[in-house]
Amino acid sequence: MRPEGLRRPWLGGHVLCGGRRNEATVDRRFGPEEPKPRSRDCFQGRGKPHANSSRNGFLSESLEKAMKYLDEYRDPQMVRRLAEQIAHLVRRPWNIMEVCGGQTHAIMRFSLDALLPTEITLIHGPGCPVCVTPVETVDRAIWLASQSGVILCSFGDMLRVPGSQKDLFTAKSEGGDVRVVYSPLDAVRLAQRYPDQEVVFFAIGFETTAPANAAAVRLAKQWGLKNFSLLAAHVLVPPAMEAVLQAPGCQVHGFLAAGHVCTVTGMEPYRTIADRYRTPIVVTGFEPVDILRGILCCVRQLEEGRHEVENAYGRSVRPEGNLLAQRQIEEVFQRCDRKWRGIGVIQGSGLELRPEYAQFDAVRRFGLEQLSAEEPAECIAGQVLQGIKKPVECPLFGTACTPEHPRGAPMVSAEGACAAYYRYRPVASSPNKHR
Ligand code: SF4
């Protein structure tokens, strides 16, 4: 039997941003040189059986359906057609920022930037929740994990994120009770099972994970648990986009907004930003066809002088978002100023527990307000997260800093830009389309 809280730990890294990626999917790259052998018939919904379909006895019917709806958004012919449309449309140079680590990884993995005309530059934004969690919050988690009688529960990605002295893995190896969970509800169940121990859930993530964490707090209250708390480090995407636009010398002309975040928030929070900064924002998905559609919509708006919020991910995002999830967040959390790794404090960019749920706030319960730490000077994560520098411009990239020995969070996270470059484009001489 698997130990408590260790079910499916390999998925831990992806639930932070809403669980979009699925490592069980086939990890095949395609690009101009290596087209994926997939018929366009499938995309048009009248396809012949795939070579690996259940009809050949390899996949269950449900898995076949799942793969179909994944593969059709990776159709090489559709990808090329979209790239051609973008090339046909573009007249001037445009910088477009994606604000989602999942999109960054898809761009690198499928070499989508190499398909674009030279006028289009893609810039990575602060779109990885693990990467933007500041070092002092990691230190607080490590401190908690080191206390006797405390069980610290976390998603998998956070265990290797360096604090100022060590990471959570090291704290665990030193005897700390650190458990990888797949859901905050696992942590609530642990609190119920071990009433004599304090159970703290390390709650990081964007708007995508906040509803589940709010539900966990409500459940703990409903069950009358006195030993459950959240180390809340939630961050919100729209304030970060505004911070990017307000930064001196900002070169961003348009945004690809993260589709999973908008599934929760809807499109409304972005309208003010698009109007105020006269910047188009296109809600975009994560597969190659999704991303190129987002870029196409963005380029079309830029060329036509429009600045609207547009939905290129209609199969998932409704304009109003998920109202039930929004109510969950609203009931348990309120907005606060939040520090972002390497960027600093962004006003109104975080979520903290409301006063009526203060008993579940680990920072107050354990008196962690004063615990602070400086970001490591050698890691340029702040510049990478703002798209000012590419990961390969960091002197430590691929030498002192690797996924095995990370010096900063962007090299650890499955959504981190440094990890994406290390995995898919480790040499600086490769297509220089990213900034
Ligand atoms: S390569 Fe490593 S040290 Fe450099 S910015 Fe990325 S995470 Fe930080």
pLDDT digits (tens, 9 = 90+) for 307-327: 999 999 999 999 999 999 999
pLDDT at 414: 82
Map tokens 């700390």 to a residue: 176
Condensed to tens digits (0 to 9), the pLDDT of residues 223-270 reads 999 999 999 999 999 999 999 999 988 999 999 999 999 999 999 999
Query: How close is the Cα of 133 to the center of ligand 1, in Å?
Result: 14
The C-alpha atoms of residue 413 and residue 124 are separated, in whole angstroms, by: 15
Centroid of chain to Cα 7: 21
pLDDT digits (tens, 9 = 90+) for 63-73: 555 556 678 88
Give 62's pLDDT tier (boundaries 50, 70, 90): low
Question: 376 near 407, Cβ under 8 Å?
Answer: yes
Q: How far is the CA of 202 from the centre of ligand 1 (A)?
A: 23
Residue 1: CB atoms within 10 A of its CB come to 3
Q: How much helix, strand and coil, in percent to the nearest 5, is found in the chain?
A: 45, 15, 40
Ligand 1 centroid – CA 418 distance (Å): 6
Distance CA 106, CA 112 (A): 8
**Tokens 């810039």 identify what position?**
123
**Ligand 1 center–CA 399 separation, angstroms:** 10
Contact by Cβ (8 Å): 388, 394: no
Phi, psi of 413 (to 5 degrees): -70, 145
Q: Residues enclosing ligand 1, CB less than 6 A?
A: 379-381, 384, 391, 394, 396-397, 401, 407-408, 410-411, 418
Per-chain mean pLDDT for the chain: 85
Angle (CA) 345 154 215, round 5° = 85
Predicted TM-score (pTM) above 0.95? no
Strand ranges across the sheet with 309-311: 120-124, 94-98, 254-258, 281-284, 309-311
Mutational pocket test of ligand 1: of 157, 160, 384, 434, the residue with most ligand atoms within 8 Å of the beta carbon: 384
Per-residue confidence (pLDDT) for residue 55, from 0 to 100: 36
Complete domains list, the chain, with CATH: 89-430 (3.40.50.11740)
One-letter amino acid of 356: E
Residue corresponding to tokens 């941003």? 17
Per the structure block, which two tokens stand in for 295?
């870029």
DSSP state of 19: S
Q: Which of 114-123, 251-260, 396-405, 408-417 has the lowest mean pLDDT?
A: 408-417
Using CA positions, which residue lies closest to atom 1 of ligand 1?
397
Residues 177-195 have pLDDT tens digits of 999 999 999 999 999 999 9
